Amino acid sequence: MHRTIFTTPVVNTLLRGFSLAFLKLTGWTVEGALPSQAAKSVFIAAPHTSNWDLPYTLMVAFALRLNPYWMGKHTIFKGPFGPVMRWLGGIAVNRDQANNLVAASAQAIREADSPLQLIVPPEGTRSKTRYWKTGFYYIAQTAGVPIVMAYMDYSTKRSGLGPLFQPTGDVEADMAAIKAFYAPFKGKNADQFEAGAN
């Protein structure tokens, strides 16, 4: 995988210090830690309702000493901001041409020679949606890695890592259990998040 802001010496240390200070000053609490067996894993990013989710996610990742990559709409990688987005850990995704996305993502996780956490927002969009995409589930299952139920609750200013979830193969039952975990959390635009939807 390409070098990111999280693997750039000196910059990493400086931004971790900034992130810890900013989160503390703004009243956010960072919870949890990444278990060693989840060094390679797929992160659920929910709720995802605002552009503010990205900078907060990056700061929480610094605070927890993660090495995350995240998927974003390919249009935000166009022009001069493309290299910056990739340096921030971004991977461009064209939703109209994502046929081999699961296989390619799983292969990248398996072949990585260092810890790697792939962040995938199950809603696939910041707009309100009733249905969660299952890409994150199949990436984890194909790669043979656990799912980390990461959360960001704007109502309580809590963000962090919840329990690990190992896909069983029963997608319907597994998705119901995952959504039940996320039901209490509120996004920045709370009316756009429906974890209880099927």
> What is the tens place of the pLDDT at every residue in 128-149?
444 578 889 999 999 999 999 9
Provide, rounded to the nearest whole percent, the portion of the chain with pLDDT above 90: 52
- The strand pair at 147-153 and 40-46 is best described as parallel
pTM for this prediction = 0.83
Measured between alpha carbons, how far is 132 from 179 in angstroms, rounded to an integer?
9
The average pLDDT across 36-65 equals: 90
Cβ-Cβ contacts under 8 Å for 36 (sequence gap 6 or more): none
Q: For residues 69 and 1, is the Cβ–Cβ distance under 8 A?
A: yes
C-alpha pair distances (Å), 95 with each of 74, 92, 178, 185 = 8, 10, 23, 26
Three-class DSSP category at 175? helix
